[in-house]
Structure 1
Amino acid sequence: MNKSQLLAAIITALESIHQNAKAAAKRAHDTATDDENIAENKYDTLALEAAYLAQGQSVRVAQCAADVQNFKQLDSAINCSKVTVGALVSIIDEQGNQKTLFMGPSAGGLKVTLNGQEVVVITPSSPIGKELNQRQVGDEVSLTLGGKPIVYEVLALS
């Protein structure tokens, strides 16, 4: 898999999420400042609730912008010999199920599909990211998911 194409797909997905967050923040702000939402009595909290939502949406917009910036700063040309931020990792479990992961600086859980293959973004602070960090091809890692231990082997790294 071409890492520069993957990074471009991740950035495109993050930019789309950022645009959606900006639109949601604008809607929340418009609701919070709408004349029809002025409190009619001390128990009418619609405007206050909308203001809290608008503030939360603004924080989300800032986080999305930071995610885009973080990924734009990554160098896709670096080939990793150990799992670190920027590494594309293929792992396999004991049943032969293969997964492709990208160790990103943020945006953990984001899924992108490139050339029909799903890639999941993980971060160094995630459970699987902590286990995979600094591992090499051939290393095994063990996780407990849903109370069940799962062992993965690092198949490939780039």
Structure 2
Amino acid sequence: MDKFLLQQQVLEQLAQDLLQIEQAVRTAHETATHEENIAENKYDTLGLEAAYLACGQARRAEAIRQALASWRQFRPLPYDTSKGIQLGALVRLVDADDQQQQLFLGPAGGSMKLVSGTELVQVISSQAPLARAMLGKCEGDEVSIQVGSLRQQFEVLRVD
């Protein structure tokens, strides 16, 4: 599986997400500043709510811009067994129920699903608990994380 192509898919998805959120920011800003939404009494809060929404969406747009910058500068390296799993690794895990998953460890903007051929690849950021638990591990190693009161365990099947 080509990490460069996966990186390109991530960049395309982030660019598309940025376009959508920028449109949402413009719409919320227009709603917040439209003359019909000027408050006539303390219960008339549509303009204020739209302003809060525009502010939140603007923060999200900035987070996407930062993720885009991180992914543009990112250069995934080939897997080095002496270092174990590092940022840029493509990892196949299996859980106790024999369910496999393919993960691509990226610098930011995780929780994105990509398709490579017939395989589904989950992008996770280096800040995700599972990514932190995998760092330094090698093929055949166990990885475990605590999710609420549940402990999840995985085996590293393959690393590219």
Pair 1:13-2:4 in alignment:
no
Offset, 1:146? 6.2
Q: Which amino acid aligns with 2:78?
A: N
Per the TM alignment, residue 121 of structure 1 is displaced from its structure 2 partner at its CA by 1.3
1: CA distance, partners of 2:147 / 2:39: 47
Aligned match of 2:74: 74
- Count of residues paired in the alignment: 157
Q: For the residues of structure 2 that align with 1:19 and 1:116, how far apart are their CA atoms? A: 28
Gaps of 5+ in 2: none
- Give per-residue Cα distances to partners, 1:118-148, cap 9 Å, x unaligned: 1111123222112111111111112344644
**Corresponding residue SS for 1:141:** strand
Give me the whole-angstrom Cα distance separating, in 2, the residues matched to 1:145 and 1:47.
Answer: 39
Q: Distance in 2 between matches of 1:37 and 1:48?
A: 9
Tell me the equivalent position of 1:106: 108
- Which runs of structure 2 are paired with 1:4-153 in the superposition (5 Å)? 4-76=4-76, 78-81=77-80, 82-145=84-147, 147-153=149-155
**Structure 1 gap ranges (5+):** none
Identify the range of structure 1 (21-30 vs 110-119) with the bigger mean alpha-carbon deviation.
110-119
Identity %: 36
AA paired with 1:28? Answer: A
Q: TM-score if structure 1 supplies the norm length? A: 0.91
Q: Tell me if the contact between 1:87 and 1:102 (Cα under 8 Å) persists in the aligned partners.
A: yes
Tell me the amino acid that sits aligned with residue 79 of structure 2. C
